Structure 1
């Protein structure tokens, strides 16, 4: 036992000597580490720097921003390249100056036309609402702590902008459905229960299911959903009075033939339903990768003034184009 204790003490002594022999970082070493971080533009997190540049994209793309206090220089988005540099011969290099490579983004009016076309071609969207203060008549079967919690669920939608218009050419003129997608709401639906209690609604739609019909956005670049359009529509649900036009029903069933079995007032329907529209108050567009497409808030005057075959006078670039004059990737 004594011999074993002596061996153990010797081992502990050797470990202690090894620790004591390890040098602590000198000030010179710390200075070298700080200098190495200078390659990231003075930031110790290259991704953080990149995100900051994206947030201030308008200033980055312009190279500088002018204000009342003069011109402020900005740093171009190069921090990720410093972390993982690409070969000089790579065809995938990103630039915040698309014009330097002969690339031009669509105009914002064209992007809004694309967004309206995306809505017209979509039949399902992801609706997000927020649980409100439970009312006295609310079911108590769910969790008790959901107030303020968001929830996202898929919903059938249809763009019936032309269903109440007098002519195809004037489907934007005085038509309350123009740019406002139609729901066949169900009383059992969480989306519409939350909306009835005061929640606003956002509806997200995208073109991602068409990926295999598209082409790579860059040479040798993989097909990527991230490079395809999507739009988020913000607004509120407004019920459409019973006895709405027959054309509205026909429009919705053209997109969802199965919904005929739960139309409002339908006998033997699995659920009671009603017609409603999402009154769009704002729209956020992501056309794809930011060096090729526009990203940002849509001009709502243009959104509401665009029709299928034409646009209202004074809208956009004055071309009078409608959303049938543009095509989404792969069309």
Structure 2
């Protein structure tokens, strides 16, 4: 019994030492949206009329952040290119429909999580030698599930600027953007606005697991340090 109490107390102490505060969690969630190791692809889910789930991988782009769209009032929202020919999008675009979006860091163990990596004298990012392999994969890295709604983008939202931003993240998508003569389908720009986020920072003895403070999520200003590594969590001015 005493051993169990000691182990529990030790685990609590470890979590207290390692766990991020609310602002850091919000910053990590926002920064994950900018991390190109995700390839800006997420699993978009909704529910069919027979109550079964429908999930499909879709491109997204963080084009509503202030660094991309200075006039936006929706920091942390995401841009999607919807093709209503797809059942996924027909369901997701129905009125009063909740959409779920799951985004995860790279599962590749060779992609170093900067929260645990160190920089060599040559400027390269490495895993610490004493970090075991089972703490280098997907389960040790940040990921989140976002719950929210889709909104059609109106002409007042700088469609050209947003479209250019999306294509910059996904060059192949230029073939099926709205109005493209190459596309056989109707396409629409859609804004995903999350109302709730469940964030898993990694293993519970190292990182936060739980709900993200949405006020902080909207207010933090994430950025990536391109001179060090993708996905570096930092606060800009």
Q: Which TM-score band (shorter chain)? A: 0.7 to 0.9
- Structure that is richer in helix per residue: 1
Q: How many residues align?
A: 203
Distance 1:182 1:104, change over 3 A: same
1:34-74: CA deviations, max 9, x gaps? xxxxx8xxxxxxxxxxxxxxxxxxxxxxxxxxxxxxxxxxx
Does 2:167 match 1:250?
no
Q: Is the 8 A contact 1:76 1:96 kept in 2?
A: no
User: How far is the alpha carbon of 1:265 from its aligned partner?
Assistant: 1.5
Does 2:86 match 1:189?
yes
**Pairing partner for 1:97 from 1, 7, 12:** 12
Mean CA deviation greater in 106-115 or 274-283: 106-115
**Pairing partner for 2:70 from 126, 147, 165:** 165
Which structure has the larger Rg?
1
Q: Is the 8 A contact 2:108 2:137 kept in 1?
A: no
Higher RCO structure (Cα 8 Å, ≥6 apart): 2
Distance 1:276 1:292, change over 3 A: same
Q: Is the 8 A contact 2:167 2:173 kept in 1?
A: yes
- Which aligned pairs between 1:191-206 and structure 2 lie closer than 5 A? 191-198=88-95, 199-206=97-104
TM-score normalised over the length of structure 2: 0.76
Distance 1:324 1:213, change over 3 A: closer
Take 1:112 and 1:217, find their aligned partners in 2: how far apart are those partners?
Answer: 29
User: How far is the alpha carbon of 1:191 from its aligned partner?
Assistant: 2.2
Unaligned runs of 5+ in 1: 1-38, 40-74, 80-93, 133-146, 167-174, 310-322, 327-331
User: How far is the alpha carbon of 1:242 from its aligned partner?
Assistant: 4.2
**1:325 matched residue in structure 2:** 234
- Which aligned pairs between 1:1-331 and structure 2 lie closer than 5 A? 95-99=10-14, 103-121=17-35, 122=38, 123-132=40-49, 147-160=50-63, 161-162=65-66, 163-165=68-70, 175-198=72-95, 199-214=97-112, 215=127, 219-222=131-134, 223-242=136-155, 244-245=157-158, 246-308=160-222, 325=234
User: How far is the alpha carbon of 1:97 from its aligned partner?
Assistant: 2.3
Root mean square deviation, CA, Å: 2.8
TM-score normalised over the length of structure 1: 0.55
Unaligned runs of 5+ in 2: 113-126, 224-231
**1:63 matched residue in structure 2:** none
- Structure that is richer in strand per residue: 2
Take 2:88 and 2:6, find their aligned partners in 1: how far apart are those partners?
Answer: 40
User: How far is the alpha carbon of 1:266 from its aligned partner?
Assistant: 1.4
Distance 1:269 1:211, change over 3 A: same
Question: What secondary structure does 2:181 align onto?
Answer: coil
1:70-128: CA deviations, max 9, x gaps? xxxxx76969xxxxxxxxxxxxxx9522449x942222211210110001224100001
User: How far is the alpha carbon of 1:157 from its aligned partner?
Assistant: 0.2
